[in-house]
Amino acid sequence: MNTQVSWDPLLIQRYNRPGPRYTSYPTAVEFAAVDNDQTELQAFAERDPAKPLSLYLHIPFCRHVCYYCGCNKIVTKDTSKARPYLDILKREIDAKAALLEQHANGQPQIVEQLHLGGGTPTFLSDDELQELVEHLRRRFAFSNAASADYSIEIDPRELRPGTLVLLRKLGFNRVSYGVQDLQPEVQAAVNRVQSEEMIREVMAEARALGFRSINIDLIYGLPHQSLASFDQTLDTIIDMRPDRLSVFNYAHLPERFKPQRRINGDDLPDAQEKLAILGHCIQRLGAAGYQYIGMDHFALPDDELSVAQNSGKLHRNFQGYTTHSQCDLIGFGVSSISQIGDYYLQNQVGIEGYEKALAAEQLPLARQIKTSHDDRVRRYVITQLLCHLQVSFASIDQRFNIDSRTYLADSLQRLQPMIDDQLVAVDADSIRILDRGQLLVRNACMAFDEYLQQHEQQRFSKAI
């Protein structure tokens, strides 16, 4: 993979239009509402029990509201609210574990990947975190392989003394810290104040405890950010040397996300400055030795993401880029999404509906879709482009028993402007994203998205 990304701001501005992030195809906006759990029961019944599992648990609580945030969350300082949620979450775990065992002749299912997200998972007390993980370990067989990936998202402000020690003892080997920006004026404007010293301390502790991969989240486009101020943040972050970096674009959508109404739009960097921040960030991280994985993500060359990408084994799902493509994804908690075989299944978004379904001994399914043959063809193409920047026609033909050049003729025609601009190359053998097109890979994927041709693109954030 090319670690140095080509930067052409005029070209990026021309192609910078709204589009999906493709953590799935079809994307979540295509999921249909349901009023029972029959589709999910069918998905479990049809599942291949030989496939390992990736588990995602959504803990929706936060003690503080970050004004930029668009996640499904409940802001409260009342930690007692965690107990009833934890109890009902364990009920969902039991129900799905029983279904998995039922269709695997009673054999516990192997877990290769676990991720706790939110919200702020460490809103749960240390005792509650231990109770939850021990409950999971009673219901599933967790892999001890070196490649097993057990991760958790952490707000450094909410990290108690001893929590990282406990998490490491419980088997977590990867941690992600939400930092966003280190400049005091920016932090105050988004209500997320945390000192450089705090970040350095939690980084050093995670290193000392032997977490094998540490991720830091940053956001560009926040109020009061400038090229100069973000460069100062990058100086510090590069010196900390996290294994991975996620550098997200802030999409200001106050009409959709109420907390964003507390951000003064006049304080946001203009489009030119925001683009300059991104371009400088890419240049700085590349010079510091980070590999551009794609779509906001960077990793050191020896990190598992880089290794997987370089060996052609990188995958993408609702957890973003991942090294565990062979897993079925099972979601637990409000709004979580499962991917079981050909099915995508999303839980109830609100706690009331979630609890009501489980109290009635039903799975808390709210929305679903089963992929068609056409969906699977296009999903494969999109995933290969996002992960590896190329896909061969022979691999599509063999996998799906089609003549892919004929089958995808309309999509290839939609790619023509990007071909003319030397962003994409299509020849007799393959579709390839060229160096100039790496930052615009979402645009190339959009050419293969049949649903997007039917929708308003404003339903999505811009590509850059």
pTM, two decimals, is: 0.94
Tell me the per-residue pLDDT of 384-436, one tens digit each, with 9 for 90 and over.
Answer: 999 999 999 999 999 999 999 999 999 999 999 999 999 999 999 999 999 99
- CB-count burial class (<10 Å; 0-12, 13-18, 19+) for 28: middle
* pLDDT above 70 coverage of the chain, percent: 97
Which domain covers residue 450, as residue numbers? 1-26+373-464
Return the percentage of the chain with pLDDT > 90, whole number. Answer: 84
Instruction: Please write the tens of the pLDDT for every residue from 23-37.
Output: 999 999 999 999 999
- Strands, E, within 282-363: which ranges? 291-294, 297-299, 315-317, 320-322, 328-332, 337-340, 343-347
With a cut of 90, say whether residue 453 has pLDDT above it: no
Is residue 148 very low, low, confident or very high in pLDDT (cuts 50, 70, 90)?
Answer: very high
- Report how far apart, in Å, the C-alpha atoms of 252 and of each of 10, 30, 419, 442 are: 22, 23, 31, 20
Within-domain flag for 284: yes
Q: What value does the mean pLDDT take over residues 69-93? A: 94
- What CATH number did the domain enclosing 184 receive? 3.20.20.70
**158 and 90 assigned to the same domain:** yes
Whether residue 293 is found in the same domain as residue 415: no
| Confidence band for 19, pLDDT divided at 50, 70 and 90 | confident
Work out the mean pLDDT of the chain and round it to a whole number. 93
C-beta separation of 368 from 41 below 8 A: no
Number of domains making up the chain = 2
**pLDDT per residue over 362-371, tens digit each?**
999 999 999 9
Of 297, 330, 363, which one is at a domain's C-terminal end? 330
- Report which DSSP code applies to 160: -
Say whether pLDDT at 455 is over 70: no
Residues 6 or more apart in contact with residue 403 via CB below 8 angstroms: 397
pLDDT over 60 (residue 2): no
Question: Which pLDDT score, from 0 to 100, does residue 71 have?
Answer: 84
Instruction: Tell me, yes or no, whether 115 and 205 share the same domain.
Output: yes
Are 187 and 226 members of one domain?
A: yes
Model confidence band, residue 457 (pLDDT cutoffs 50, 70, 90): low
What is the Cα–Cα distance from 40 to 204, expressed in whole angstroms?
43
CA dihedral 350, 355, 356, 357 (to 10 degrees): 90
What pLDDT, on the 0 to 100 scale, is given for residue 319?
80
Q: Both 294 and 396 in a single domain?
A: no
Q: Is the dihedral of CA 314, 315, 316, 320 positive or negative?
A: negative
Distance (Å, rounded) from C-alpha 64 to C-alpha 320?
25
Model pLDDT for residues 227-255, shown as the tens digit of each residue:
999 999 999 999 999 999 999 999 898 99
pLDDT band of residue 181 (cuts 50, 70, 90) is very high
Q: In terms of Cα–Cα distance, which of 381, 371, 432 is closest to 402? A: 381
Residues 246 and 379 reside in one and the same domain: no
- For 293-307, the pLDDT digits (tens) are 988 899 999 999 999
Please report the pLDDT score of residue 9 as a whole number: 83
Report the chain's C-alpha Rg in angstroms: 22
Read off the pLDDT of each residue in 338-361 and give the average, rounded to a whole number. 96
Residues 34 and 22 in one domain: no
